[in-house]
């Protein structure tokens, strides 16, 4: 089954899920490594450290056709948002960065 990364509120994370991106504290120290399987104990400890969201691996339930449709919508939306920006280099770079970010979730 194809998996995807999803950021979820800690309250929605469940034991058995796998950490998608390492969880860091405000000082940048790793609290949980990417790939760690969550347990009730780990979830309680994260809550004690005021972690509000966590990135986890979730099954991708959308079909390839649905993902393709969402990609087209993402590009169309960005084109609307950037329609009056001209060809300024800094704005083109911003456009490309936002596009890459939005499409990353739809791969």
Tell me: the pLDDT tens digits for 8-39? 999 999 999 999 999 999 899 999 999 999 99
| 82 SS3 class | coil
The region that residue 2 occupies, defined by phi over 0 for left and psi between -120 and 50 for alpha, beta otherwise, is beta
Residue the block writes with tokens 């995807």? 4
Q: Which two tokens stand for residue 6?
A: 């999803």
Architecture of the domain whose range is 3-59: Alpha-Beta Complex (3.90)
- Separation of alpha carbons 57 and 34, rounded Å: 10
Query: What are the extents of the domains in the chain?
Result: 3-59, 64-104
pTM over 0.75: no
pLDDT digits (tens, 9 = 90+) for 43-60: 999 999 999 999 999 988
Residue the block writes with tokens 């939306």? 77
Helices (H), 49-88: 64-81
């Amino acid at each position: 089954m194809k998996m995807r990364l999803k950021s979820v509120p800690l309250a929605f994370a469940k034991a058995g899920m796998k950490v998608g991106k390492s969880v860091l504290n405000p000082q940048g120290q790793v609290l949980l490594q990417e790939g760690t399987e969550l347990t009730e104990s780990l979830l309680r400890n994260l809550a004690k450290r005021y972690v509000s969201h966590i990135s986890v691996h979730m099954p991708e339930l959308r079909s390839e056709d649905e993902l393709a449709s969402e990609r087209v919508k993402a590009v169309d939306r960005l084109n609307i948002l950037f329609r009056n920006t001209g060809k300024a280099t800094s704005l083109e770079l911003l456009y490309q960065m936002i596009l890459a970010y939005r499409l990353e979730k739809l791969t």
